[in-house]
A and B are shown apart, each in its own frame.
Chain A
Amino acid sequence: MQKTEGAAVFTASSDTPTPLRAILTLLAPVVVIAILYSGFLFLRENGNAPQMVKTIIAIIWGIGGATALFFVANGVVELLPIKWVARVQPFVFVGPALMLLTWYLAIPALRTLSLALVDDQTGQFTLDNFTSVFTERIMIEAWTNNLLWMLIGTTLTVVFGLLIAVLADRSRFERAAKSLIFMPMAISMVGAGVIWKFVYDVNPNIGLLNAGVTAAGGTAQPWLTLLQPWNNLFLILVLVWMQTGYAMVLLSAAIKGISDELLEAARVDGANEFAVFFRIILPNISGTLLTVVTTIIIFTLKLFDIVMVMTGGQFGTEVIGVRFYREMFVNNNPGSASAIAIVLLVAVIPIMGYNLRQFSRRDTF
């Protein structure tokens, strides 16, 4: 807290506001809010202005509005008596963030919990929403599939990421290779869904996979639909394709962090490359490995886009994320959707606890 002692020094030495400046400063919020509100109405109207114009106005309105609000709020606060400025100003800085987080995460989490605990029709307290999360047939299918995604997806991603990181580290084309492997991270899951639907197309003149299969003498397969339960595996490969770059980047950085002396010493002692990998590299990057695994597990837990675009959750490929969407929007069961959300929240609590423990170990606070 000693950091802020300087605050008093500054305010004491700044000029006292003149009445005119005070009036202007107080008027500013009114003007800004009026402009922002009329801008909001204009944008909502969807009038006949060319779309390019609307885009530009919307962007300026949004960014300019946020900036202006900070400036006028601060202007008003700095009119206060010195003692009060030091007390109130921190809330100009952290207030908007706290308000948004309260509105968008904290309160909704509680409201979701209360929605999950009542019956949608009668409004009575019930645990049925939670029991159906674990007992409905389609939910069991979704959980099973999510487990598949988690196990197979995470394993393949980490194995490929590690393999590429190790290979690239010894290659002369490291940068180019990593760049190309990493590229799928930049595109949307919807785009990736289209790319892979194209690869998996049942027509061997269109789908590369079936072209390969027929060229090898096999028959074309409907990889994503009738080939149950293997179609899940073909969906999981899309995730692996997208996330391997992420695993590779983190693991590669961790591998480069291992000291060369350590590796050299092991090699001089006669360890072969496999021993070096399993005895030295792997133990030294276990922390990063844990981060990568956790991130991908969370990712698979909330998976939505890939399945939604490629199969829509049909043909036995349902997952929790798609289930949540369907319960909320298609079946109009906010209770069931909320129960799914709460179960997801409970699933990440161990990770939340881990983050908090790591954080409290640091002594910056």
Chain B
Amino acid sequence: MNRQKRTAMILVNGILLFIVILWTIPTVGLLVSSLRNRDDIRSSGWWSIIPNYGWSNTGEELPLPEGQTRDTPITIGSKTATFDEWREGIDMGDGTRYVWIGTLRSGRIEIYRQQWRVNWNFTTDNYSQVLSGKEFEIRNGDGTISTVQGDDMSASFLNSLTVAIPSTIIPIMIAAFAAYGFAWMSFPGRRILFIAIVAMLVVPLQVALVPILRDYVSLELNGTFLGVWLAHAGFGLPLATYLLYNYISTLPKEILESAFIDGASHFTIFTRLVLPLSVPALASFAIFQFLWVWNDYFIALLFLGINRNNEVLTQRIANMVGSRGADWHLLTAAAFVSMLVPLIVFFSLQRYFVRGLMAGSVKG
């Protein structure tokens, strides 16, 4: 029985470990690659940072044999093979491997030997280049220096902050007021209005975008931060109101009533009593909304797309995928810059995030 239990335990942990590794590897690869220079990324996979046993260049070279043609076999040392085979590399049988580098006429033969190798050649140059908007000098593999334009991600980073912070706080504030109003005040239409909010929880925001964009164009809000804040506030409100209502309506009635008897107004009770008591719910939703807004690409593309100055991180990266699709050293660094804030928020406030997520799983 005990042995059986132990086998089960090993099996459970083994499968779990396998899945966890599978899930983590893509992100690890991105992080590692963002710290490797351009030539390393092009010539070897990021996994070559793991010590591995294989062919590596000894630095020794042989001169090219004389009178070779593309079609006839060429003899070097003890082996004879065609040019194409030499280019693939031939095992010489003595633990070395000869590889023809370059063309038929002007090239060299490099000698490889099997040994333990590891590539720990890390750099933060990629980050400097994507963050800065200035011209930037990079050293090429052959030692020459070329000038490239930085990607100015630090500007996008600030724009992302400018979009995300008010887009988180404004809807929470409006929703908290509304939740209090629905929970503790009486007015005509209270029930039907709240039902309308519940109905809006799953409305796909595509339904609203065409008319809102038209409004924005005529109000000159298109491309402004205010426009994006209001859009995020509008689209986040149903969920925010619903969640905060669920919390605020369950606050003990006695506390509020005794405050009324002491002569406090609704406004005072809300700001002095209800808001502080609701911090857990506010925090949960704040994290949820912040990550949602920070990671949003669609709304930013629609409402900020016209104004390059206000471009946020997700837009910047999506553009880079188009314009620098093969520059993996930059793309990986850029992607990691955009992930930094969410990852910090996530790992430090995970408990609140999970709570908000579980409460908010009705969002459309």
Contacts and interface: CB of A to CB of B under 8 A. Distances in A.
Nearest to B27: A195
Given A104-B235, A105-B234, A184 B23 contact: yes
A198 interface: yes
Interface string A110-122: 0110010000000
Interface string A161-205: 001100110111100010111111111111101111111010011
A329 B206 CA distance: 13
A168 B23 CA distance: 14
B206 A324 contact: yes
Interface in A42-97: 43-44, 46, 51-52, 54-55, 58-59, 62-63, 66-67, 70, 74, 78, 87, 89-94, 96-97
B13 interface: yes
Interface in B23-51: 23-27, 29-30, 33, 41-47
Interface string A254-294: 00000000000000000000000000000000000001100
A126 B238 CA distance: 32
A14 interface: yes
B86 interface: no
Interface residues of A, number: 123
A30 interface: no
A94 B182 contact: yes
B175 A10 contact: no
B202 A348 contact: yes
Given A195-B27, A304-B298, A341-B209, A100 B233 contact: yes
Nearest to A194: B335
A239 interface: no
Contacts of B238: 101, 105
B191 A3 contact: no
Contact of A6 (B155, B260, B332): B260
B298 to A, nearest CB: 5
B328 A355 contact: no
Contact of B199 (A342, A355, A364): A355
Interface stretch (A19-27, A134-142, A295-303): A295-303
A246 B202 CA distance: 18
Contacts of A164: 16, 19
B1 interface: no
Interface string B213-237: 1010000100011100111011101
Contacts of A355: 198-199, 201-202, 362
A70 B173 contact: yes
Interface stretch (B59-67, B105-113, B134-142, B353-361): B353-361
A167 B12 CA distance: 6
B328 A198 contact: yes
B284 interface: no
Given A301-B204, A348-B202, A93 B318 contact: no
B214 to A, nearest CB: 8
A62 B42 contact: no
A107 B211 contact: yes
Interface string A293-328: 001001001101100110000000000010011001
A298 B202 contact: yes
Interface stretch (B68-76, B77-85, B289-297): B289-297
A55 B162 contact: yes
A7 B260 contact: yes
9 smallest beta-carbon distances between A and B, as pairs: A104-B234, A6-B260, A93-B181, A62-B166, A188-B295, A97-B178, A186-B346, A108-B208, A90-B187
Interface string B301-322: 1100100010001100110010
Interface stretch (A149-157, A226-234, A332-340): A332-340
Contact of A93 (B177, B201, B220): B177
Contacts of B305: 329
Contact of A112 (B16, B199, B211): B211
A109 B234 contact: no
B261 interface: yes
A94 B317 contact: no
Contacts of A181: 19-20, 23
A211 interface: yes
Given A93-B180, A101-B234, A183-B346, A11 B265 contact: yes
B187 A62 contact: no
20 contacts: A66-B174, A70-B173, A92-B177, A101-B237, A108-B211, A112-B208, A167-B16, A172-B13, A182-B354, A187-B339, A188-B313, A194-B321, A195-B27, A195-B29, A206-B45, A208-B26, A208-B47, A291-B362, A344-B204, A355-B202
